[in-house]
Amino acid sequence: MVRHSIHLTGRILRLVHSRKPLWVTLCLALLGSLGLWAQSVPMPTGSSESAAAQAYRLGMSLVKEGRVDEAISHFKNGLTTDPQNALLLNVVGATYTLKGESQQAEGYLLLSLQADPGFVPARKNLAISYFNQGKYDLAAAEFQKLLNEPGETRSVALLFLGIIAEEQRQFTKSASLLEESGEVVFHYPRALLSFAHSLFELKNAQRADAVLKSLDTMSGVVASEYFSAGVLYSKQKQYLGQQGNVGRNTYSGPGLANINTEFAKVMNWERFSLEFRADVFNLFNRVNLTQPDGDLSSSLFG
């Protein structure tokens, strides 16, 4: 179902390719409303179609074409005849989120939930809007309310809760939640990086490395995510190349002490000067040993 939804939102993704990758889920929630509307209210045709239904249908067509400002205008026209329509309030909020106008989006999504507290798409979009603004506590509270929902909604909630836990350095919780979210984690680069980072911090470097490799076949990965993956790869290679459990700089090699000295006497005459000089190296004849070789692949190791 998730892959099918991603295919449907392909055109909308072009609008947000330069934004945060997790806004993909906002598109899923927005388009998911289309199916929900069709299930709850049969779409009338011709003259029997209500103004709200017509505004929704035309607005959604405009969103898919990338004409989001015109879409918002159509949605708002529908609200003039039905100001408590939870579906229209939700899609206005979701479309504002696509534009990056989080404050406007938040207001409409809250109104949608006031009109219908059980309207899942609005709660999902509100939670993601909070997440994109960095309001992780508010986002987590909304996602927690979605955990009892079936199917894709629960998976998305687990996904975001896992990312939030990783942001808060709760790595055990993060790995568990992202594992539970299922295959959906492998559709979002940000979630994949959070999963790999949590596994790495839990000393499960080999599993983290396997998760990171999935990034190579993903689309929609932005430069910052490739950079984060590179940093994590670098840490992983250091960890995987480490032998034993002794920390760095636990032991010190032999010290170095060397004293050189010079004795000189200069005698000057009117036209001549005479210098007597003696140089002594390693005055106390101390043996200075070299540092042990720390390369395990070297025949001189140790």
pLDDT in tens, the chain (302 residues): 333 333 333 333 333 333 444 444 444 444 443 333 333 333 444 445 688 888 888 988 888 888 889 999 999 999 998 999 999 999 999 899 888 888 899 999 999 999 999 999 899 999 988 998 899 999 999 999 999 988 888 998 999 999 999 999 999 999 999 999 998 888 888 899 999 999 988 988 888 888 888 888 887 788 888 788 887 877 766 554 445 555 666 667 777 888 889 888 888 887 888 888 888 888 888 888 877 776 655 666 65
The three-class DSSP label of residue 96 is: helix
Buried b / exposed e along 271-296 (16+ C-beta atoms within 10 A): eeeeeeeeeeeeeeeeeeeeeeeeee
The answer to whether the predicted template modeling score (pTM) of the entire model surpasses 0.85 is no
DSSP 111-160: HHHHH-TT-HHHHHHHHHHHHHTT-HHHHHHHHHHTTTS-THHHHHHHHH
Contact 180, 169 (CB under 8 A): no
Angle between helices 189-201 and 171-181 (to 10 degrees): 130
CATH class of 1-146: mainly alpha
Domain boundaries in the chain? 1-146
